Amino acid sequence: MNLDDFNTPGEHKMRIVQELVPGKQVTLAHVIASPDPIVYRKLGLDPQLDYQRAAIGILSMSPAEISVIAGDMAVKTANIDLGFIDRFSGTLIFTGRISEVEAAIQAINKYLEEKLKFTICEITRT
């Protein structure tokens, strides 16, 4: 028996498989420098920015609840605006000037690595 046996005949439902990797780690730390305005709109972020000097910071971490602490650190460390924190998936998105976004990500990674003994990934940038 599989999950399709529980669906109405002829009905197909999408199955989503989520995988959680146990441990304390930052699996994505990325800066999108000078993003296209459509990226802001699709993420539901404030599109009234100077796009040439703006950036989006994206982090993914586990355990997922650490995204709340990372979001707090980001606003206390740099002049950024929080876009999204998901304490269930471990995703954090924020915006600001490129230098501020990079400073926030560096501060978060440093704290998580040195104080909480997280495994940290390389900060990437596009």
| Residue 40: CATH number of its domain | 3.30.70.1710
Q: Tell me, what's the pLDDT at 121? A: 93
Q: Tell me, what's the pLDDT at 54? A: 87
Residue 2 lies in a domain: no
**Between these two residues, 117 and 12, which has the higher pLDDT value?**
117
Which domain, by its residues, includes 113? 21-125
Q: Tell me, what's the pLDDT at 7? A: 56
Q: Provide the domain count of the chain.
A: 1
Would you say how long the chain is, in residues? Answer: 126
Residue 16 lies in a domain: no
pLDDT at 18 over 70: no
CA dihedral angle for residue 103, residue 107, residue 108, residue 112, rounded to 10 degrees:
160
Residue 1 lies in a domain: no
pLDDT band at 68 (very low <50, low <70, confident <90, very high): very high
Residue 97 lies in a domain: yes
Q: Tell me, what's the pLDDT at 22? A: 65
Residue 109 lies in a domain: yes
Q: Tell me, what's the pLDDT at 45? A: 78
